[in-house]
Structure 1
Amino acid sequence: MKYKILVLDLDGTLTNKKKEITEHTRETLIRAQEAGVKIVLASGRPTYGIMPLARQLELDKYEGYILAYNGGQIIDCKTGELMYENVLDPAVYPYLYECAKSNGFQILSYKDEYIISENADDQYVQHEAFLNRMPSKTVENFLDVINFPVAKCLIVGDPEPLAQLEPVMKKELESKMNVFRSEPFFLELVPKGIDKARCLAVLLEELGMTPDEMMACGDGFNDLSMIEYAGLGVAMANAQEVVRQAANYITLSNEEDGVAHAVEKFMLNAE
């Protein structure tokens, strides 16, 4: 088998619009793992937001991996070991907090299985909780609580004023960290150089594999680097146009078991 490692984005790729893995896709991925393929779930989600899908695919049994926070962490699912981590400099926390508070936004992060913010009922905080299938917890003071290594914060709020804040923060923090919107209402705050391909390079070196042995499937802008890096880059039919153009192959959409289709075609030799 030419491709020995399979990297999957989650939202818009592995999961359908209900944020679920279909039974056909799950069964196909189990068969691939039984044939020796290693699976990596690579997402902007926090680790706890990826764990339920990892359990569905039995990554602990088949020695798979989680790449969380768009490359901020690598977790060995068999051992639970944190293999790699890239975190924010605590010196920036007060500035991030002030940017959120002074503009009427919420800032959130992730602690254990919880999403933490000063208003768990905020509609955008609730949306992040829904996306990750994680409970949201209100804390009295955000800065007092984030006394641990933080891989990502998120400032959430109405799209138009958030779009005005983005370039201001980018300019202020350009030498220290990355600031970008993953959704019109989500402003991502992550360490400098966070990138799925860079993190995958670390993992491949650890596993003694090469990019030529890797197949990567994705749909969004944050998947572009890994699709270009992989020996076989696969874009979903619902992918952003720039991702489709960069891919070696365009599979079916996430509503049509596109991941299963690509795995059957290129890994299980169904055709």
Structure 2
Amino acid sequence: MMYKLLVLDLDGTLTNSQKKITRKTKDALCKAQENGIKVVLASGRPTYGIVPLADELHLSESGGYILSYNGGEIIDWKTKELLHAKLLDPQILPYLYECAKKNNLAIITYQDEFIITESPDDIYVQKEAFLNKMKIKQVDNFLSYVDFPIAKCIITGDGDQLIALEKEMNSHLKGTMGVYRSEPFFLELVPNGIDKAQSLSILLDKLGMTKDEMVACGDGYNDLSMIQFAGLGVAMANAQLVVKEKADFITLSNEEDGVAHVIERFLL
């Protein structure tokens, strides 16, 4: 099979434990792009949290794509055209805000390169800013400020608090939107049906490609759908057990240039 599209999760896949792309992996990706392979960076991160890595890999010059918010947005990074967006219903925002406030927890969303919050000193808000290399913008009133379309919110807090809140919110919302913890301290609040595989299907249609021409690499539960969907689904050696069980191929870990190994074996 001649593969044409390489889809990469970021944390635990493309980057090592230092959140860096190694020289070997970067060189392999540059070579793949020179050979006509299109690269998609697919992550739960907000769009501007992916931009530094996209620019490091020269996706704008090579015609690559950013799939952010676990599939909530797809952007052609060469033209900056928004190809797909699935947004939160603004009518649900007051409920999300109230859930955070009554539990004395921080709530955040994103606007361009900024993380929007009333709680800039919250340790988990600061962690999110650090991970995504984004600035924190403090606002006096979250609900009043957020009068623009958003792809997701996050409520931050200690694990025990979020376990109970996740259960309560899922019960109240009854499947009308996604509520899940991406980390013990991050409760993700996203539109219903957000899924990397579904969004990649939309991208493939736009590109005139089939899933058989796609390679997808990941390590986490949110990568499972795209790994099962792809023509070649690849799990990192450091991936969750269920991800490795469903993958077509298990590569080296993210500390051992597993992405470069896939490129060298299947794409070059």
TM-score range, shorter chain: over 0.9
Normalising by structure 1, report the TM-score: 0.98
Normalising by structure 2, report the TM-score: 0.99
* Distance (whole Å) between structure 2 residues aligned to residue 175 and residue 160 of structure 1: 22
Unpaired runs of 5+ residues, structure 2, are none
* Distance (whole Å) between structure 2 residues aligned to residue 127 and residue 7 of structure 1: 26
Say which is worse superposed, 174-183 or 71-80, in terms of deviation: 174-183
2:170 aligned partner: 170
* Distance (whole Å) between structure 2 residues aligned to residue 120 and residue 261 of structure 1: 40
- Once the two structures are TM-superposed, the CA of residue 76 in structure 1 deviates from its matched residue by 0.3
Q: Does 1:202 align with 2:202?
A: yes
- Once the two structures are TM-superposed, the CA of residue 256 in structure 1 deviates from its matched residue by 0.8
2:59 match: secondary structure: coil
2:18 match: secondary structure: coil
- Once the two structures are TM-superposed, the CA of residue 116 in structure 1 deviates from its matched residue by 1.1
* Distance (whole Å) between structure 2 residues aligned to residue 210 and residue 173 of structure 1: 35
2:247 aligned partner: 247
Residues 90-169 of structure 1: pairs in structure 2 closer than 5 A: 90-169=90-169
- Once the two structures are TM-superposed, the CA of residue 144 in structure 1 deviates from its matched residue by 1.1
2:267 aligned partner: 267
Counting aligned pairs with the same residue, the percent is 64
1:150 is aligned with what amino acid? Answer: I
1:108 is aligned with what amino acid? Answer: I
* Distance (whole Å) between structure 2 residues aligned to residue 121 and residue 11 of structure 1: 24
Say which is worse superposed, 209-218 or 126-135, in terms of deviation: 126-135
- Once the two structures are TM-superposed, the CA of residue 165 in structure 1 deviates from its matched residue by 0.6
- Once the two structures are TM-superposed, the CA of residue 174 in structure 1 deviates from its matched residue by 2.5
1:158 is aligned with what amino acid? Answer: D
Q: How many residues align?
A: 268
2:41 aligned partner: 41
1:199 is aligned with what amino acid? Answer: S
Q: Does 1:231 align with 2:240?
A: no
2:62 is aligned with what amino acid? Answer: Y
1:193 aligned partner: 193
1:266 is aligned with what amino acid? Answer: F
1:142 is aligned with what amino acid? Answer: F
Superposed CA RMSD in Å reads 0.8
- Once the two structures are TM-superposed, the CA of residue 80 in structure 1 deviates from its matched residue by 0.4
1:218 is aligned with what amino acid? Answer: G
2:18 aligned partner: 18
CA deviations on 1:32-70 (whole Å, 9 max, x unpaired) are 000000000000001000011000111111100000000
2:187 is aligned with what amino acid? Answer: L
2:5 is aligned with what amino acid? Answer: I
